[in-house]
Amino acid sequence: MTDDRPSSTRPDFRERIARWFFRLVNPLARRMIPAGVATGAPNILLIVRGRRSGVERTTPVAMLDFDGHSYVQASYGAAGWAQNLRAAGEATVIHSGGRRSPVHAIEVPPDEAAAILRRVLEPYRQFHFVRRLLGSRVRPPVALLRRYRIRIDDTPQDYLAEARRHPLFELRPA
């Protein structure tokens, strides 16, 4: 089987491992979150209508609550659920314990998203080792970094590059 994509867009080894891991874990998370079982992260289920099929898709994502706003970040770029959320502009959130709430999703422009990411992670100690381990493309969602008090970005340009690669969406109650 040949790959038609240019080699520069092909996920690196670390990203392929992370995607494989989450393909195994996500079905379990889809059951644990509505049941109220702790997942070790501020996870929710995001139900978004497919942009082409119209079929509702359920994806576990980490949610960040910061300054009275709720955010989700596309950890693997604008693929899959992030493109669907961008197209639909609305979703349903299932919180731990099964509570459902409809939301409007607004994509935060990269310059604003970079400022938010920086403010969220600024108080925490920087871990260069984690950045080297994960590489330049793989990064946990900002909600997980905040929960475990890890900062891996250093300069405003790093935050802007991160915000461009991994879109940030604000979720507002519908």
The CATH number of the domain holding residue 53 is 2.30.110.10
Q: Is residue 3 one of the residues assigned to a domain?
A: no
Taking the model in full, what pTM does it have?
0.86
The answer to whether residue 28 sits within a structural domain is: yes
pLDDT digits (tens, 9 = 90+) for 102-127: 999 999 999 999 999 999 999 999 88
Domain range for 58 is: 11-173
- Is 79 within a domain? yes
Residue 57 within any structural domain of the chain = yes
Q: What is the predicted pLDDT for the residue at 76?
A: 76
Residues 6+ apart with CB under 8 A from 94: 33, 34, 44, 45, 47, 58, 100
